[in-house]
Amino acid sequence: MTIPSRYFHNRSILLLLIINSVLVLLGIILILFRLDSNTTTNYIVEYRANLGIGEYVIGSAFDMIAFVIFLLLNFGLCVFISLRVFLVRKHVSIMILSVSCLLSLLTIIVSLALLGQR
């Protein structure tokens, strides 16, 4: 796959790529620093308010690492799709990166909320 040379010269694309990469790095750092090395099975990975007594589902640290993997996959996939679409429609490429920013931000908020419940 050849990268169009105009892709990195577009200011909107470049700004969204920088914002996305900062959000992904910030999310990875915040999630990994909030994990406790002493316990590996004491993390709340799901919260369902309508279930009553069983509203909290306990999981391991690997379940919390899934948020980090999701952040990386989200960033990689959105950049790849944005590159492919850029030659056809620039505005769609910008929208893909914008949605990726929103999704990364929501992932950080949810993961930190679940880590805060512990």
Largest CA distance in the chain: 56
**pLDDT value of residue 16:** 95
Q: Residue 65: CA atoms inside 13 Å, Cβ hemisphere, count?
A: 7
Domain regions of the chain by residue span: 12-116
**pLDDT value of residue 35:** 82
**pLDDT value of residue 101:** 96
How many CB atoms lie under 10 A from the CB of residue 73? 10
Q: Across 1-118, where does the E strand assignment appear?
A: 43-47, 56-59
The series of mean pLDDT values per 10 residues for the chain, 118 residues long, is: 76 94 96 77 72 71 88 95 90 95 95 80
**pLDDT value of residue 40:** 62
Q: Is 47 helix (H, G, I), strand (E, B) or coil?
A: strand
